[in-house]
């Protein structure tokens, strides 16, 4: 019950923030403005989000959370390129589902340096998680073998390229198809003996 109210305030805040930021630009909008639009005080904003960037980035970050789970769910014998393709497809599909809102968020992030920076930092954490999961799958030691970290990095590189292309095309290109094409390029390295 109190949980539902918290969720409601959080949603109100993100909605107000995304609306204002995408329309007016990241730098010119103040936290006071966002908080006022959501009907709360600036102090309350910071009780829900750690920073101004967070309110945007967390929207995408939630999409990335399922990636490790998506990888863990794949059968152990599967080729890494296929397993990673499915893992990356989780956030990609999520983008396709909320295409309208997701596209605006992605475009905002990619053209705002401060947001891009924070987004990439989040992604670095996903990479650590993917690395651990991959090492587990393949029975490799991530402290001696470079493969797990490189494979995770390549998968996220593919993800970034897809987002970039999707954003540049204003959503006209199909994310799933882009992902498949990107993985076709990196697969030879992922599946090498």
CA separation for the pair 182, 161 (Å, rounded): 8
CA distances from 15 to 101, 135, 178, 193 (A): 10, 38, 29, 48
Task: Say how many residues touch DNA, by CB under 7 A.
Answer: 22
Does residue 158 bind a second copy (CB under 8 A)? yes
CA proximity to 40, closest of 85, 5, 82: 5
Q: For a second copy, which is the closer residue by CB, 12 or 107?
A: 107
Q: Which residue has the tokens 């794949």?
A: 74
What is the x/- site pattern for DNA, positions 20-49, by CB under 7 A? ---------xxxx------xxxxxx-xxx-
In the complex, the smallest distance separating the C-beta of residue 58 from a second copy, rounded to whole angstroms, is: 14
Does residue 82 bind a second copy (CB under 8 A)? no
CA proximity to 160, closest of 133, 178, 184: 178
Question: Pick from 1, 2, 146, 172: which binds a second copy (CB under 8 A)?
Answer: 146
Question: Pick from 78, 93, 147, 174: which binds a second copy (CB under 8 A)?
Answer: 147
φ and ψ at residue 52, rounded to 5 degrees: -65, -35
Binding site for DNA (CB under 7 A): 1-2, 5-6, 9, 29-32, 39-44, 46-48, 50-53
């Amino acid at each position: 019950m109190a949980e539902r109210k918290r969720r409601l305030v959080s949603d109100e805040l993100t909605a107000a923030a995304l609306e204002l930021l995408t329309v007016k630009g990241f730098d010119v909008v103040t936290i006071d403005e966002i908080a006022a639009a959501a009907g709360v005080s600036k102090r309350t904003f910071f009780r829900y989000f750690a920073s101004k960037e967070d309110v945007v980035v967390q929207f995408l970050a939630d999409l990335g959370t399922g990636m490790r789970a998506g990888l863990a769910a794949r059968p152990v014998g599967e080729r890494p390129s296929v397993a990673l393709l499915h893992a990356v497809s989780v956030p990609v599909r999520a983008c396709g589902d909320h295409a309208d809102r997701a596209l605006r968020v992605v475009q905002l992030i990619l053209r705002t340096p401060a947001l891009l920076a924070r987004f990439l930092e989040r992604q670095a954490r996903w990479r650590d998680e993917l690395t651990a999961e991959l090492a587990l799958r393949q029975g490799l030691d991530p402290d001696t073998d470079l493969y797990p970290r490189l494979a995770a990095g390549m998968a996220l590189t593919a993800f970034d390229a897809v987002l970039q292309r999707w954003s540049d095309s204003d959503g006209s290109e199909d994310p799933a198809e882009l992902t498949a094409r990107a993985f076709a390029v990196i697969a030879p390295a992922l599946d090498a003996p």
